[in-house]
Chains A and B, each alone.
Chain A
């Protein structure tokens, strides 16, 4: 085991040493660290349920839904690609070394503990939000962190076990996928039947997700029981669930250890996928897009010249990769997130359209930073094409702006149908939403110009988030102030729209000449 511990120890040492050589990055990580610790302390001392008092049933329902969805994707991914704790360097150096395979498995597991720890750290950011809305017990924060830790430990093991048992033949794989899909469909169907018969979305969903049947399901039942102790308090069932979960983990590890010692082959494909994911993350891209198999068979001729050809190229790419024109997975997620956020915030009646706009705009940030513009500067063509920088910038970002506008129309048309009948407000929300997108795009460009190549992708995202929100927050504050003083939604949204328009225009102007000042990624 000592050579494997040597790798772990040395890698950790080198990461820390590497940071020492890059003081700016080190400062960034220290800031993030302080923020994390601050969040933990804040989460521990802040009062619970101060903003509103969500019921314990709602808490349990949210965690049940979350765990079901996460497990569903874990199982699906396990069948398709397996799961791996390993990197290609391990495949090439450790797998081929004269080290027993069970020790290699243990090495992988220890390595994965580091990743699990990071996932738990990121959960910390959500805790103040949970504490604001629910009455947690004194140790509730630790219970949520424990649930996250247990799930992140369990996740790759499930993937590996699923892969080992289903990778033997295509027929088995298809059958397993169908069974999992059918179970998921059954769960969703149950939810719909409950909602339709009761006619009340929130209450019937909560009632359904609190059903005893979910407590009896393996993994789901235990994880939900553990998470629920954050609001219900610790009971003997809590300890029983932890014991069962550890037993399951041990059983899965035993299966991996005993039954399939020749797991290297099974892990290869999964490692390849892990590498792809890491590559995608480093580029700030959505990993699912990298393995996308279904491209619509659309052929189109270019009809414009110069920089406009970039726009036409992107349109063609969108048409091939989207469900319909610009409507793709990101549209669905943003629209669903906006609507669900509003459904779970029923008592904020006066603010519901604000909530939809701000929450969808927040979600939009993460899609914009993975959008067409960042992808375009990974290729040399945008730098090489002999057209003025301003024109290239305009046409490179045009598709993204149009997409945001169309997504905005869809999102706020639904909002109009369900809860906001003021057409002026709806119109202003669409424009505002589009302009939020523009601020993110041109804010990203200005950040690149100002800060250049930043050490890590996470740091880049942090800087962009900071720049964008620094620019946008005053508009939000003034808008909300105007609403409370004038009691006019039209005035509030007009202020937000004008603020965003000014910010987007100024950032666009500051972005001109960008190709002389930034570097290909």
Chain B
């Protein structure tokens, strides 16, 4: 259930709420008490240098790690069944089963998530968009890394999610797939889906983001909306280096 503060004036709900998230790996504090929100119809970007804690944050949200703090997706704890039904996750390295074909991956996800029969059409569309239409019967172990990443993306999007987590999604993709993925980000936003992208490549999210969260050494060191940045007349690159390296 949402509280009033979680529903904004524009009626956009906070699809993802992260409160006081802390994650420690043995002696390393990977994520240090961070809090942020991503609303429906918003593209949030976790930006930061290598080792900033972006992937750990995304993995914690996806429920793959144990953590301290609170993570709510669509108003429910991230590890609850109801929240799992509504979010998709694209990992940093493609997650595919070697002995399943591309189409069998689609079928497996559709069945596991109990999707209705319309999934076939969605799957066809997604695979066509990523130039995988003619590779449906290929085993995933026979695909290149980039193609495997495309399968991972298709699996995450097939469930028609209300929120999608992308962890360095452009890695290994060809220019056409990158362009296609950027278009998909915008389409998801149009449909009211919340999108959270983790990346360390500033150029890769240029023109698509609504809210940027810059992470460094496990903390969020800067949070800006696109409008705030435009009003300040500073570039994202300049601010990024200023807050991560103290260089202006």
Which A positions have Cβ atoms within 8 angstroms of B? 21-22, 295, 299, 301-302, 304-307, 309-310, 312-313, 316-317, 320-321, 379-381, 383-388, 515-520
Chain A residues near B81: list those with CB within 8 A.
386-388
Contact A380 B114 (CB under 8 A): no
Closest to A455 in B: B26
Chain A residues near B65: list those with CB within 8 A.
519-520
Chain A residues near B114: list those with CB within 8 A.
305-306
Chain A residues near B82: list those with CB within 8 A.
386
The minimal Cβ–Cβ distance linking A457 to chain B, given in whole angstroms, is 16
* Cα distance A321–B107 in the bound complex, in angstroms: 19
- Contact of B231 with A by CB under 8 A: no
The stretch from B56-64, B215-223, B234-242 touching chain A is B56-64
- Contact of B176 with A by CB under 8 A: no
Closest to B110 in A: A302
Chain A residues near B26: list those with CB within 8 A.
22
Number of cross-chain contacts by CB at 8 Å: 79
Q: Which 8 A/B pairs are nearest by Cβ-Cβ distance?
A: A386-B84, A309-B111, A520-B64, A386-B85, A309-B112, A317-B99, A302-B111, A385-B112
Given contacts A380-B64, A384-B63, contact A317 B112 (CB under 8 A): no
Partner of A305, one of B85, B95, B111: B111
B82, B111, B112: residue with the most chain A Cβ atoms closer than 10 Å: B112
Which B positions have Cβ atoms within 8 angstroms of A? 26-27, 59, 62-66, 79, 81-82, 84-85, 89, 91, 95, 97, 99-101, 104, 107-114, 137, 139, 141, 155
The minimal Cβ–Cβ distance linking A256 to chain B, given in whole angstroms, is 33
Contact A519 B108 (CB under 8 A): no
The minimal Cβ–Cβ distance linking B160 to chain A, given in whole angstroms, is 13
* Cα distance A167–B14 in the bound complex, in angstroms: 61
Given contacts A386-B84, A517-B66, A519-B64, contact A304 B111 (CB under 8 A): yes
Partner of A381, one of B27, B85, B112: B112
Given contacts A305-B114, A317-B97, contact A384 B84 (CB under 8 A): yes
Closest to B142 in A: A295
Contact A385 B89 (CB under 8 A): no
* Cα distance A301–B117 in the bound complex, in angstroms: 14
Chain B residues near A309: list those with CB within 8 A.
108, 111-112
Chain A residues near B64: list those with CB within 8 A.
380, 383, 519-520
Chain A residues near B100: list those with CB within 8 A.
313, 316-317
* Cα distance A312–B79 in the bound complex, in angstroms: 24
Partner of B99, one of A316, A380, A388, A518: A316
20 contacts between A and B (CB under 8 A): A301-B107, A302-B111, A305-B111, A306-B114, A309-B112, A310-B112, A313-B97, A316-B99, A317-B97, A321-B99, A380-B64, A380-B91, A381-B95, A383-B62, A383-B64, A385-B112, A386-B85, A387-B112, A388-B81, A520-B59
The minimal Cβ–Cβ distance linking B188 to chain A, given in whole angstroms, is 18
Contact B62 A379 (CB under 8 A): no
The minimal Cβ–Cβ distance linking A311 to chain B, given in whole angstroms, is 11
Contact B27 A21 (CB under 8 A): yes
